[in-house]
Amino acid sequence: MQGEGSESSMTRRDLLRMIGLSAGGAAMYQAMSSLGLAAESPYKGTPKLQGAPRGTSVLILGAGLAGMVAAYELRQAGYKVQLLEYNARPGGRNWTLRGGDTYTEMGGHTQHCQFDRGLYINPGPWRIPYHHRGLLDYCKKLGVPLEPFVQINYNAYLHSPDAFGGKPQRYRTINADYRGHVAEMLAKVTQQSKLDTQLSKDDQALLLESLRDWGALDKNYAYASGPAVSNRRGYDKPPGGGLSGKPTDSQPLQLHDVLDSRMWKNLTEGEIFEFQTTLFQAVGGMGRIGEAFGRELKGLIHYNAKVTEIHQDEHGVTVTYVDARHPGQAHKAHADWCICTIPLSILSQIPMNVSASMADAIGAVPYAATVKVGLQFKRRFWEEDEDIYGGITATDLPINCISYPSNDYNTRGKGVLLGGYMWGLSAYEFTAMTPEERIRRTVEYGSQIHPQYKTEYENGIAVAWHRTPFTMGCFASWSDELRARHYNNLCQIDGRIALAGEHASYLPAWQEGAVTSALDVIERLHQRVMAGGVA
């Protein structure tokens, strides 16, 4: 997901890949858990909120998933709930851009999405792991249909402008050749009795048998051109029918060329816990989830409400807000309690009388920079010309990847690609550009992988998350040190104010983090209310 090849310093993803390749997936998962990047959802169902005092009110700031989950459950429990939302729509970062939509970023650049009917791009979350049970459960409750999201496609590409003359290589080719050569080397070591101190003779025999199967080795334990190898990496001429049906085997790449390409660094992507199959996406765009919540909570959400001040006292919480479209006259909303889901990057700029420890935590957490670019093409050339149906092509160009749509396969007409998903330094560079320049550069880079870009491109839209007025960043970028110092202080109920959102979770950037954070905080808030109020 990150554009490591364009950065001079090691990224977190580089580090995790190195750990995964050298020490294995278990070690990489432990490292990711420490960094707050991988954790199985704790969701075991919604909390039982019984006995809520009649008339007790809760004001929720932000109608993203965290805010709407909290509102959904609190209303069910009998609380009087209202939400203030900056945007004119529900969902927050759960957002889909479709043809006819208009988006204005900070700095004043306005984009008018020109995608054809039925085509879309998800600027924010775009996939749901199978183990994100909370989000999946709400999709079921709200009747949001899901479909598979293809993370790994063996027929997609791995690409580097500095390898193989800049020619993209199929994922399956690099995967098969890397595994095959490694299997052959280990088989040679085993046959030379260099593992006698580690393995018994019986285990060595089993190891050789497994290496032959794992690496597609021949009877001499060599990784060499033949039917078994071609069945992994692909044929020069695939099997067919009739007199011309005989296949032609392909020739493996040399190990040196595979290693020197550094394309092997992308082979572990689908083994990372959160990217293991099966993943899902909402049919019609991830924003369908936020839209479904919005319909369920119709009448409770006040849109276009820009919060300017949050004040609590012994009697409750009063929030001052203005119309986000035409700031002018100030309005006030009051409740007994407040759950604030506003991203910390915004909340840190809003006056709020909370404890010094919570205020320090709010101001301490940086937000990651990312950029997503959606591109519409005249036809689905990736399917028609290259047999790529879903999945992701990885590149060390600044665009980092190209993601192919996991829906509407093999249909006529136009299609939209995620043409770039920039992280790190590349994201900052693209954020500094105008939307038009981001799109132009994305098309320029992508044409190095798909020459069809030059003739098939029609229009695009680019979202730089540091310029989104409602988040000013993509997600909370915790470190071990920051978590140790500030995480508990951030999550504690402070008087009558509590925080929720992906930033208050060990699942940063994931919608499940927002869901589980909201469920955790409403349970603790309900306990506080039932115990008689502020501690």
For 240-277, what is each residue's pLDDT tens digit?
999 999 999 999 999 999 999 999 999 999 999 999 99
Average pLDDT over residues 459-479: 97
Residue 316: phi, psi to the nearest 5?
A: 160, -160
Q: What is the DSSP secondary structure assignment for residue 28, as one 8-state letter?
A: H
Long-range contacts of 45-48 (CB under 8 A, 24+ apart): 45/137, 46/73, 46/519, 47/73, 47/519, 47/522, 47/523, 47/526
Least confident of 32-46, 333-347, 457-471: 32-46
* pLDDT at 371 exceeding the cut of 60: yes
CB 361 within 8 A of CB 490: yes
Instruction: Assign 212 to helix, strand or coil.
Output: helix
- Please report, for residues 93, 224, 264, 278, the alpha-carbon distance to residue 63 in angstroms, rounded to integers and kept in the order given: 10, 58, 41, 28
- Give the contacts of 103 (CB within 8 A, at least 6 positions apart): 97, 110, 111, 113, 461, 463
**Quick one: pLDDT at residue 256?**
97
**Quick one: pLDDT at residue 532?**
86
Instruction: Identify which of 103, 121, 122 has the alpha carbon closest to the alpha carbon of residue 469.
Output: 103
* pLDDT at 344 exceeding the cut of 90: yes
**Quick one: pLDDT at residue 535?**
57
* pLDDT at 311 exceeding the cut of 70: yes
- Give the contacts of 438 (CB within 8 A, at least 6 positions apart): 371, 373, 430, 462, 464
Least confident of 84-88, 325-329, 489-493, 517-521: 325-329
Hey, what are 310's tokens?
A: 């949050």
CB 10 within 8 A of CB 483: no
**Quick one: pLDDT at residue 29?**
40
Three-point CA angle 335, 341, 342, nearest 5°: 105
Residue 21: phi, psi to the nearest 5?
A: -75, -35
* pLDDT at 508 exceeding the cut of 60: yes
CA–CA distance, 512 with 501 (Å, rounded to integer): 9
Higher-confidence position of 110 and 5: 110
**Quick one: pLDDT at residue 18?**
46
Average pLDDT over residues 351-363: 98
pLDDT per position as a tens digit, 192-210: 988 888 999 999 999 999 9
Strand bridging mode 97-98 / 120-121: antiparallel
4: confidence class by pLDDT, cuts 50, 70, 90: very low
CB 138 within 8 A of CB 69: yes
Average pLDDT over residues 123-134: 97
CB 85 within 8 A of CB 66: no
Residue 449: phi, psi to the nearest 5?
A: -100, -45
Q: At what angle are helices 287-296 and 65-77 packed, to 10 degrees?
A: 30
Hey, what are 67's tokens?
A: 């805010």
Average pLDDT over residues 408-426: 97
**Quick one: pLDDT at residue 11?**
52
Summary mean pLDDT of the chain: 93
Instruction: Assign 307 to helix, strand or coil.
Output: strand
CA–CA distance, 22 with 27 (Å, rounded to integer): 9
Q: What is the DSSP secondary structure assignment for residue 476, as one 8-state letter?
A: B
**Quick one: pLDDT at residue 94?**
98
* Cα R_g (the chain), whole angstroms: 26
**Quick one: pLDDT at residue 38?**
52
CB 1 within 8 A of CB 420: no
Average pLDDT over residues 342-360: 98
CA–CA distance, 184 with 87 (Å, rounded to integer): 58
**Quick one: pLDDT at residue 26?**
37
Kind and range of the H or E run holding 331 = strand 331-335
pLDDT per position as a tens digit, 51-87: 999 999 999 999 999 999 999 999 999 999 999 999 9
CA trace torsion 132, 375, 150, 476 (10° rounding): -30
Percent of the chain with pLDDT over 70: 92
Domains observed in the chain: 57-87+289-365+478-530 (3.50.50.60), 97-155+278-285+368-467 (3.90.660.10), 171-261 (1.20.1440.240)
Average pLDDT over residues 10-24: 46
CB 341 within 8 A of CB 60: yes
CA–CA distance, 39 with 274 (Å, rounded to integer): 8
CB 502 within 8 A of CB 36: no
Percent of the chain with pLDDT over 90: 89
